[in-house]
Each structure stands twice: as structure tokens, then as C-alpha cells.
Amino acid sequence: MNTIFRSITLAAVSLAALPLASAAGAAAIAVQVHDSSGKPLADVVVTAAPDGNAGLPQPVKPAEIEQRGLKFLPLVTVIQTGSQVSFPNFDKVKHHIYSFSPAKKFDQKLYSGVAASPQVFDKAGIVVLGCNIHDRMLAYIKVVDTPFFAKTDAAGVARIELPAAGKYTLTSWHFNMLGAPAEQSVAVKGEGATAASVKLALKPMAPDVAAPGAGAP
């Protein structure tokens, strides 16, 4: 009796586990982003929010923004709300990083070779990082309410792995774009990557914005 009960339970558990296992990572979306002249656009933050946002996994992976060669690296970081970010300094000089952005105001003195404690970003929004000592240092953190996001690569493509097929709202943001982030609704299929495309208009770039950290300290 006991044995029969146990094998039935085991069978039920493995049957229940099967659809979950096959669904995990089964869907994806590949987003191609161009600027208004048709050139592929890198460093665009693309997020996918499932319809009925309930039960989204919480952030587990802390992010890191380096200071190296009098630059923040990377220029653009995307994190889920609640994530920690650390700011290791690999330069021989001191940096004093700050943000005046409403989504996260902070101020952190950093010394070469010393690891400072990470900051927690608990509000969605755009955080612009600067350095009090080096005016040309600049970086952006996009804090988003979904764990499903990616940045476009040099070919302007962002690939987002999704837990399941379904309807998602895609949002695309570039730090130098004109107007509000572009939103579109996409029906993601269960197999392979569903393709989507986005066109963003940019403001004319100032030399300092185009190459942050460039030039003399």
C-alpha cells in the first residue's frame, strides 16, 4: 500500500515537472533596432513585460560598473528593480561618483583598489552617473520592473530569453533618443525566437556624449 502510494506520487510529480522543464527558456524574442537613417543602433535597452505582470522572478544577479581608463564601463547598464550594483575602481586615481537622478540619488567616494559597498536600486527609472573629479565620465543605468531585458549589440540586435510564449509589451530606450521610449505589443511564439523591429530617432550627439570619458582627465 505504502509502495503503491509512493510510486503514484512520484509519477504525478514527474508528470507535473515535465511541462515546466520544457517551457523554461523555450521562448525568445529577437529585436532589431535601427535609428531613423536605417543604421543598426547599439546600447538600446529593450525590455519585455508579460501581460499580467504577476509572479515575476526577483533579481538575483548583482551588476557591476567599472571605472577604467577614466571611463565607466559599460556605458549603459540595465537592471531589474531591487538589484545591487557595485562600482569597482581599476584606475590609479580616485573617483567620486554621484547621481542626482530621482530614481536613485547617491554619492560615493571611491579609492583606487578599494572595493566600496554596492548600491541598491529600488525604483524604476533612469539613473545618470557622473564623477565629481572627472566631468567627462558618464554612464546610464536603466532600472526596469521586469527580469526580461537585453541591450542591443553592435548589429542593433537584442535577444531576450523568455519563460513562456504569450503576449509581451516591448519597450525600447536609448539614452540619446528623441521623445518617450518606444512601446509595442508582441505575441511571442513558443518555439524559436520571435522577431520584432524598432526604429528610434536620436538627438544629434554632442562629441562628449558620443565618446564619454574621452580626452584629458
The residues binding Cu ion (CB under 5 A) are 95, 131, 133-134, 137
Render the burial of 75-96: b for 16+ CB within 10 Å, e for the rest: bbbbbbbebebebbbebeebbe
Hey, is 211 helix, strand or coil? Answer: coil
Supply the minimum distance, in Å, between the C-beta of residue 68 and Cu ion.
11
CA 124 – CA 28 distance, rounded (Å): 23
- CB-based contact 65:87 (threshold 8 Å): yes
Supply the minimum distance, in Å, between the C-beta of residue 178 and Cu ion.
29
Instruction: Report the residue number, 76 or 110, with the smaller CB distance to Cu ion.
Output: 110
Pure H helices in the chain: 2-23, 207-210
CA 49 – CA 60 distance, rounded (Å): 18
Supply the minimum distance, in Å, between the C-beta of residue 191 and Cu ion.
47
92 to each of 75, 111, 114, 215, how far by Cα in Å?
20, 8, 11, 17
The set of residues, in sequence order, having a beta carbon less than 8 Å from that of 154 and lying 6+ positions away, is 40, 42
Supply the minimum distance, in Å, between the C-beta of residue 217 and Cu ion.
8
Instruction: Report the residue number, 76 or 131, with the smaller CB distance to Cu ion.
Output: 131
Distance from CA of residue 15 to its chain's centroid? 35
Instruction: Report the residue number, 41 or 75, with the smaller CB distance to Cu ion.
Output: 75
Instruction: Report the residue number, 14 or 132, with the smaller CB distance to Cu ion.
Output: 132
Instruction: Report the residue number, 137 or 157, with the smaller CB distance to Cu ion.
Output: 137
Supply the minimum distance, in Å, between the C-beta of residue 216 and Cu ion.
13
The secondary structure of residue 202, as a DSSP letter, is B
What are the backbone angles phi and psi of residue 145, rounded to the nearest 5°? -90, 20
Instruction: Report the residue number, 135 or 183, with the smaller CB distance to Cu ion.
Output: 135
Supply the minimum distance, in Å, between the C-beta of residue 136 and Cu ion.
9
